[in-house]
Amino acid sequence: MQSTMSSVASLTRASAVPRVRVARRTKSPPCAVVCRAGPSEGSQLDRDASSSSETSSWKKALASSLAVAIVAPLVNLGPAAMPAAAMYNKDLDVPINDPAQALAVVFGVQDSIKNVQEQLVDWKDSCPAPVFPCDLSQALTKTSTRVSGPLARSLPTLSDAYGADPYAVQDIIQSVTTTEAMLKANNARVKVNFDDPVEYLDLVTRSINDLLNDLSPDAVEAGRKRYDSCDLSVPPEAAGELECRLARAVSSGARSGGIS
> Does residue 81 form part of some domain?
yes
Looking at the structure of the chain, the number of domains it has is: 1
Q: How many CB atoms lie within 10 A of CB 210?
A: 14
Cis peptide before 130 (omega within 30 of 0): yes
DSSP 97-164: --HHHHHHHHHHHHHHHHHHHHHHHHHHHHS-TTT--S-THHHHHHHIIIIIHHHHHHHHHHHHHH--
More confident residue, 119 or 4: 119
Rounded average pLDDT over 141-165: 93
> Does residue 222 form part of some domain?
yes
Residue 65 above 60 pLDDT? no
Q: pLDDT-based confidence at 60, cuts 50/70/90?
A: low
Q: Give pLDDT tens digits for 209-248.
A: 999 999 999 999 999 999 999 999 999 889 999 999 999 9
> Does residue 45 form part of some domain?
yes
CA angle 247, 252, 254 (to 5 degrees): 95
> Does residue 257 form part of some domain?
no
Structural domain boundaries, residue 87: 2-252
If you average pLDDT over every residue of the chain, what do you get? Answer: 76
> Does residue 161 form part of some domain?
yes
Q: Give pLDDT tens digits for 169-207.
A: 989 999 999 999 999 999 999 889 999 999 999 999 999
> Does residue 260 form part of some domain?
no
> Does residue 258 form part of some domain?
no
> Does residue 259 form part of some domain?
no
